């Protein structure tokens, strides 16, 4: 089913690991690898990556996923921002906006939602459009996603931002003057 969907829609995968709930780590890693290999977009936090693969050789894993057909691989690193790899757009790093952190719960989910919103706004959802992203588009999408995550960290209880709260500057930078999708 996922393989069929991948041809007509964007499959985004965020494993959101919970190590204390996993009985058989080897089987879990195997299943996560199977899901990741079938996704167009894979996003992991640096702690999820460390749990699944140990260490921090993000680039090696990115190259393997891109070779398997994943279009975009993203690692979020909290206050250190995010790194992404894309076959056409290359490797990109974005800084995390500096904020007074109240609660980090939900920041990864807000990043992922912001990334998907940005890709939709740019017309880059779908296997073909996603594969043709430029480095500039990737940078703008990641910066927007990082802004969304930062908003979430500024308040308690996994409360993601609304588009109206983001403000005109990040949205305009993302969209290049086009109207935001509703």
Q: Active site includes 109?
A: yes
Two tokens, residue 82 = 């995010």
Concatenated DSSP letters for 103-134?
Answer: --TTHHHHHHHHHHHHHHHTT--SHHHHHT--
What is the C-alpha separation between 53 and 49, in angstroms, rounded?
6
DSSP conformational letter for 152: H
Of the candidates 109, 136, 159, 172, the residue annotated as catalytic is: 109
Residues 6+ positions from 52 with CB-CB distance below 8 Å: 15, 17, 29, 32, 44
Q: Which residues are catalytic?
A: 109
């Amino acid at each position: 089913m996922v393989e069929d969907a991948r041809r007509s829609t964007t499959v985004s995968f965020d494993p959101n690991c919970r190590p204390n709930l996993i009985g058989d780590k080897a089987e879990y890693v195997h299943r996560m690898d199977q899901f990741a290999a079938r996704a167009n977009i894979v996003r992991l936090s640096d702690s999820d990556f460390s749990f699944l693969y140990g260490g921090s050789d993000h680039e090696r894993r990115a190259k393997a996923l891109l070779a398997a057909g994943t279009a975009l691989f993203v690692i979020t690193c909290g206050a250190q921002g995010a790194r992404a790899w894309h076959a056409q757009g290359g490797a990109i790093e974005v800084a995390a906006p500096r904020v007074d952190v109240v609660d980090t719960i939900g920041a990864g989910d807000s990043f992922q939602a912001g990334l998907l919103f940005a890709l939709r706004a740019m017309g880059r959802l779908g296997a073909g459009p996603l594969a043709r992203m430029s480095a500039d588009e990737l940078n703008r999408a990641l910066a927007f996603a990082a802004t969304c995550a930062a908003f979430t960290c500024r308040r308690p209880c996994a409360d993601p931002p609304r588009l109206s709260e983001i403000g005109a500057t990040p949205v305009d930078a993302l969209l290049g003057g086009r109207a935001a999708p509703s």
